[in-house]
Structure 1
Amino acid sequence: MAEAHQAVGFRPSLTSDGAEVELSAPVLQEIYLSGLRSWKRHLSRFWNDFLTGVFPASPLSWLFLFSAIQLAWFLQLDPSLGLMEKIKELLPDVSDWWEEFVYLRSRNPLMVNSNYYMMDFLYVTPTPLQAARAGNAIHALLLYRHRLNRQEIPPTLLMGMRPLCSAQYEKIFNTTRIPGVQKDYIRHLHDSQHVAVFHRGRFFRVGTHSRNSLLSPRALEQQFQRILDDPSPACPHEEHLASLTAAPRDTWAQVRTSLKTQAAEALEVVEGAAFFVSLDAEPAGLTREDPAASLDAYAHALLAGRGHDRWFDKSFTLIVFSNGKLGLSVEHSWADCPISGHMWEFTLATECFQLGYSADGHCKGHPDPTLPQPQRLQWDLPDQDPQCLALFRVAVDKHQALLKAAMSGQGVDRHLFALYIVSRFLHLQSPFLTQDSHRLGQHIEDALLDVASLFQAGQHFKRRFRGSREEDSRRRCGFLSRQTGASKTSMTSPAL
């Protein structure tokens, strides 16, 4: 609707010289005002950057520091006594050592090893409606992002006096950790006007803005309710796709390379989102009947979920449970816990005490029937569970051939066994034989685990295939029975 409304201001016409487009006066005025607002925002931000960059030091102190640096350069003095040059030799082209060597170079999975979680109110649930809680929480999160963009978040003060660096706040939103073979890197976008949503194995794109402003909490609730009411099933391989973000980083980096060529648009929607949202189908939270066990289950759901219903690469995943409880799963590399904690405190306070809910538990305001449906993401993923089976059969045939060769005295293990006997007889330690045995055992273990996972995947595929066939059969039987019943009714009913 917004695009159609904007198109009214354009008046195309055909002349002998070609096509011409005329802009109406309101459109020209809107373009002018938009450019003016943009320049005002940039100038305001530049001035604010200058002021906050100087605080808490005075311009005189900056002048003194500049003079000292110039004097040291003129006298060819090195205040670090050669330490900085030594560091540059050992660590070339490294800007943030802690971020790179503690987080980005780690090849371990993010889930449990790096990511952490944040809980909701333990004893209060503002509304039991899942879509309503998601609408208010996401609206509050985006209000916080708006304040960040306008630089209205004051720095945290140490002991109420010394301000701490606020650089980490910049990457709260629109940020994704991208896997690499040797190290990851952080991708941060200047802006994003949508969130990526996961529900029952399906991915959706939900816009967060209308033409001129942020969507209201009630409009966001409407969009999430549409996703909850959508009966469409997950596509093959889509349901467990996010589990790749919980894999070792090298493995995920290799798979992502092929995923980026096969499903680039869907992947960009997820990685380019403001943040990730998971609408869980199960309830969670503290219960009075068994507080210890329920709290453990709540923490487990926030930290790991089912392993495939969180996008662990995103800066954070907002988790909304079926009973209205909330939580966060946070990626650690972009910032420390106090940063996300400040955001979460603002979100809960704004969502509960400022936005609030109506008496029936819905977000305040009215739905917007003109909003388009949430966009279902399409993952064009080839079915590989047949290719693997074919390769496995080839491997089995090869194994049978090697087994027959070994039985006829042509196996390499016989020669290794002879060398082992000689080394034991001569009391010689053979590093070659010792290290080959450990490596061989490890390779055998890895191969058996691969075969087990292959058979498990095959059984899962068969169950899903059998279930889909049974469901289709029930649907057809139900359709035929309704048709038969309708025919009998039409045949036995008296004529009016």
Structure 2
Amino acid sequence: MAEAHQAVAFQFTVTPDGVDFQLSREALKHVYLSTISSWKKRFARIKNSILTGVFPATPSSWLVVVMTTMTSIYCRVDVSMGLIFRIQNYLPRSRYLGIRSRTLLSGMLFSTGVWLSGILLCRQTLKLLLSYHGWMFEPHGKMSRSTRLWAVSCSLGLGARGSQTGRPMGLDPESPRQSPESPLNPALAGGDRAAFRGTLSAQQVSDWWEEYIYLRGRSPIMVNSNYYVMDFLYMSPTKQQAARAGNAVHSILLYRRRLDREEIPPVMALSLVPMCSYQMERMFNTTRIPGQERDTLQHLSDSKHLAVFHRGRFYKVWLYHAGRLLSPRDLEMQFQHILDDLSFPEPGEERLAALTAGDRVPWAEARAKYFSHGKNKASLDAIERAAFFLTLDEEAQGFDKEREDSLDRYSKSLLHGYCCDRWFDKSFTLVVYRNGKLGANMEHSWADAPVIGHLWEFMLATDQFQLGYGDGGHCQGVPNTGLAPPQRLKWDIPEECRSVINASYQLARELADDVDFCCFQFIDFGKGLIKRCRTSPDAFIQISLQLAHFRVRRPAACYPPPAPTQRAVPCPPPGTASPAAALPCSERLRLFQTAANKHQLLYRLAMTGAGIDRHLFCLYVVSRYLGVDSPFLAQVLSEPWRLSTSQTPQQQIKMFDLEKNPDHVSSGGGFGPVADDGYGVSYIIAGENLITFHISSKHSSPETDSKRFGKNIQQAMLDIAALFNVPLKKMEN
């Protein structure tokens, strides 16, 4: 129903002869189809919850309990221990209720009470099981008695309830997302509830983090916050740009449909416990709206169209026809219409998206002044209310063996492009290049990388292994030539607004030109060799990053990848992670193992809600609210994070066998530098023999050099591997 209110279904004018009505059949048709689609979605969710529910939370289980109770009553066996007859005494007496009817009604009330008590007991048991974190601290190959008992309980269906109900990567509000619920200072408890979401909110720490870290930032989000993800590394299913866009968009919409119907199984830990994430519902139909003091996230329950950008022009493409999702071939035809359009951008339209790349306050002011009425508001609504944003890029990108900087250029294109050809406020912008390669740019406030990674793996696998392509690289099927062509969005941008757009564009270009990117493949070994060294691949890479940084500069405070429950974990002390070259090999190996074990311990503590950064952040928010100056917080929070790292998840849903299809490894993704004199490093452990690194820094800093740091990472990886005396086997390109 997202677009229903936008359709002008009727117009009326008052004349001397009365009121003149003019109905729009097309608008009424869209309202009707949107209503039907909304109710279909509701019925699908009800059906799914009934079919996949867990005892005793299903209607069928309620009926079983009632029938069992009634049968026992007629067999003269009182299973209620007298409660049914006590309930009967409290029922109102009426001539319409005989003794048999009163007994039947009392039995049904008792059965319902038993059924509801079973549900509460199941929920409390589930909460108790999910609060157990001892399994994360078990040594490899061993398991304590308590953990075995917990695993058996989970396997019986209590702990795996989330996977059976089909909830995407999460459970109900009682899932183990750790947050402090102790009473706050009275001055705080009775204060601004809008700022603190109430002291009993199960998600309050994440809410604060979203509001105070992401949405209150006034600097550009293009390089400072947004991140990107790439296509397959070695192959491209087709060279046809419109066809690749058609299959990709259709695959993404299939994912959205499964998500709406709660058919996406959660990611499980040890195949038992669903990892919690409440962010997936905001993956689609979501836009960051600029504000004077803070931004907001606008999320719609549904959206039936797509916003498309090509050669400085914006289009609105309907995704449904007669209530049905357009086929990949139909979508390809729509996108080809846009590619074949030879019209020119309107004045100010070509660089309009630069408003989302610059400072937030000028964008908020321009939005309120120039885009709050008329055709500008209608066109902006079409973009902000779209399912997501699509850019049909005019460049060709991707990995090229003949060009050493091909992945560097690919990364920079996805991170910022030309600063005016991605809508950086959308939850994500799908970018499809002229040669059929693709990627995506994500706004960060609504979710972290694992969430979009889930969608991305589904899209790539569905595109390649299920939808496929026909002759000439076109989508399968026959297009419906009766579809209305894409709608070109119209703008009326005055000269003053163009000045604001150009100012945002110039600022964004300075930021983009300052980004120094190095993306490379590490092919000497992968997680296969690291596992043979009996150490964690993530700990191995994190310590390698510390060693690489230590050799060129000094130990760095490092912000590694967040744990699956969104708790960050600091690296072990740099001195532990940097063995001196003068020490014997055995001593260096011991120091490495000590650092790796410490890293694993901190990671596990973070997964259980014991990470330090959220706790320090909460102390900071409370101190600011109460006006308390804390020398401790001032010192701790002033420490720069010169090394910010992240790991791109791989094979979360396993829709194809990577070992049988090694050319279908993903390139991963990356982000911009967090500090002006620091590095942003992202890596993806792709299969057993490949690790791809994405390194960003700033040209303006004399202390950083992304390519130099990349070479240091390679050497650090080799040096640490040499401690284990394991032969290396390079991966063939």
TM-score where L is the length of structure 2: 0.44
SS in 2 for 1:368: coil
Question: 2 CA distance for matches of 1:386 and 1:346?
Answer: 40
- 2:394 corresponds to: 281
Q: Distance in 2 between matches of 1:31 and 1:385?
A: 35
TM alignment of 1:27-176, pairs within 5 A: 37=40, 40-41=43-44, 43-44=46-47, 59-60=120-121, 62=123, 82-83=183-184, 88-89=189-190, 92-93=193-194, 94-95=196-197, 96-176=207-287
Q: Is the 8 A contact 1:135 1:217 kept in 2?
A: yes
Q: Report if aligned partners of 2:248, 2:463 keep a CA contact under 8 Å in 1.
A: yes
Q: Is the 8 A contact 1:357 1:364 kept in 2?
A: yes
1:363-374 pair list within 5 angstroms: 363-374=475-486
Work out the CA distance in 2 between the residues paired with 1:52 and 1:216: 39
The count of residues paired between Structure 1 and Structure 2 equals 349
Structure 1 residue 381: deviation in Å? 1.0
Structure 1 distance, partners of 2:182, 2:34, is 57
What is residue 315 of structure 1 aligned with on the other side?
427
Q: Percent identity?
A: 49
Deviations 1:409-449 (A, max 9, x none): xxxxxxxxxxxxxxxxxxxxxxxxxxxxxxxxxxxxxxxxx
Which of 441, 466, 482 lines up with 1:354 in the alignment?
A: 466
- Residue equivalent to 1:10: none
Shift of 1:288: 1.2
Which whole-Å CA distance do the structure 1 matches of 2:287 and 2:499 have between them? Answer: 32
> What CA distance in whole angstroms lies between the structure 2 residues aligned with 1:252 and 1:227?
28
- Structure 2: gaps of 5 or more residues: 1-20, 24-28, 59-117, 128-179, 198-206, 501-733
Quote how far apart the aligned CAs of 1:155 are: 1.5
- How far apart are 1:148 and its partner, in Å? 0.3
Give the C-alpha shift of residue 382 in structure 1: 1.3
* Structure 1 position 59, deviation (Å): 3.2
**Mapped partners of 1:51, 1:289: distance in 2:** 56
Matched residue, 1:455: none
Is 1:187–2:248 an aligned residue pair? no
> How far apart are 1:154 and its partner, in Å?
1.2
* 2: CA distance, partners of 1:386 / 1:32: 39
Corresponding residue number in structure 1 for 2:317: 206
Structure with the larger helix share: 1
State the alpha-carbon separation in 2 of the partners of residues 269 and 316 from structure 1: 15
Q: Secondary structure at the match of 2:421?
A: coil
Matched, 1:233 2:349: no
Partner of 1:270: 383
SS in 2 for 1:353: helix
Shift of 1:267: 0.3
DSSP-derived class of the 1:299 partner: helix
Secondary structure at the aligned position of 1:236 is classed as coil
Describe the SS at the equivalent of 2:288: strand
Residue 116 of structure 1 contacts residue 331 of structure 1 at CA under 8 Å; is this kept in 2? yes
User: What letter is aligned with 1:221?
Assistant: E
Is the Cα contact below 8 Å between 2:45 and 2:261 reproduced in 1? no
Corresponding position of 1:4 = none
C-alpha offsets along residues 77-104 of structure 1, whole Å, 9 cap, x if unaligned? xx96633756535763233111111111
Deviation at 1:212, TM superposition (A): 2.5
Q: Deviations over 1:211-262 (max 9, x none)?
A: 1310000000000000000000011100000000001111111111123225
- State the AA in 2 paired with 1:351: D
Partner of 1:293: 405
- Which residue does 2:495 correspond to in 1? 383
Q: Partners of 1:146 and 1:351 in 2: how far apart?
A: 16
Considering only aligned residues, what root-mean-square deviation do their CA atoms show, in Å? Answer: 3.4
Alignment match, 1:439: none
The 1:386–1:157 alpha-carbon spacing in structure 2 relative to 1, beyond 3 Å, is: closer
What's the TM-score once normalised by structure 1's chain length?
A: 0.65
Classify 1:254/1:221 alpha carbon distance in 2 versus 1 (closer, same or farther; 3 Å): same
Structure 1 position 309, deviation (Å) = 0.2
Contact in 2 for aligned 1:135/1:221 (Cα 8 Å)? yes
Q: For the residues of structure 2 that align with 1:206 and 1:185, how far apart are their CA atoms?
A: 26
- Give SS of 2:193's match: coil
C-alpha contact (below 8 Å) 2:252/2:459 kept by paired residues: yes
Unaligned 5+ runs, structure 1: 1-18, 22-26, 67-78, 389-496
Structure 1 residues 80, 254: CA separation in 2 closer, same or farther (over 3 Å shift)?
closer
Alignment deviations for residues 349-387 of structure 1 (CA, whole Å, 9 cap, x no partner): 001110000031000001111011100000111123899
Q: Distance between the aligned counterparts of 1:305 and 1:387, measured in 2?
A: 21
Matched AA of 2:269: L
Are the equivalent residues in 1 in contact too, given 2:366–2:497 (CA < 8 A)? no
Instruction: Measure the CA separation in 1 of the matches of 2:125 and 2:50.
Output: 22
Question: Are the counterparts in 2 of residues 130 and 321 from structure 1 also a CA contact under 8 Å?
Answer: yes
Closer, same or farther: CA 52–195 of 1 in aligned 2, 3 Å: farther
Cα distance between partner residues in 2 of 1:357 and 1:35: 32
Query: SS at the partner of 1:167?
Result: coil
Deviation at 1:156, TM superposition (A): 1.6
Give the superposition deviation at 1:113.
Answer: 0.4
Letter in 2 for 1:373: P
Quickly say closer, same or farther: Cα 1:38–1:361, change in 2 above 3 A.
Answer: closer
Question: Which of 218, 222, 226 lines up with 2:329 in the alignment?
Answer: 218
- One-letter amino acid of the counterpart of residue 392, structure 2: L
1:4-43 aligned at under 5 Å gives the runs 37=40, 40-41=43-44, 43=46
Letter in 1 for 2:386: A
Do residues 342 (structure 1) and 342 (structure 2) align? no
Larger RCO (CA within 8 A; separation ≥ 6) = 1
Q: Distance in 2 between matches of 1:31 and 1:139?
A: 19
The 2-side partners of 1:116 and 1:208 are apart by: 26
* Cα shift readout 1:129-152 (whole Å, capped 9, x = no counterpart): 000000000000000000001000
Structure 2 CA distance for partners of 1:87 and 1:159, relative to 1, 3 Å = farther
> Is residue 202–residue 239 contact of structure 1 (8 Å, CA) maintained in 2?
yes
Do the aligned residues in 2 keep the contact of 1:315 with 1:330 (CA within 8 Å)? yes
Bigger-Rg structure (1/2): 1
Distance in structure 2 (CA, Å) of the matches to 1:52 and 1:174: 34
Whether the 8 Å contact between 1:197 and 1:276 is mirrored in structure 2 is: yes
1:293, distance to aligned residue in structure 2 (A): 0.5
CA contact (8 A) 1:176 1:315 kept: yes
Q: State the 1:39 CA deviation.
A: 6.1
Contact 2:230 / 2:438 at 8 angstroms: preserved in 1?
yes
Conserved? CA contact 1:155–1:166, under 8 Å = no
C-alpha distance 31-245 of structure 1, shift in aligned 2 (>3 A): closer
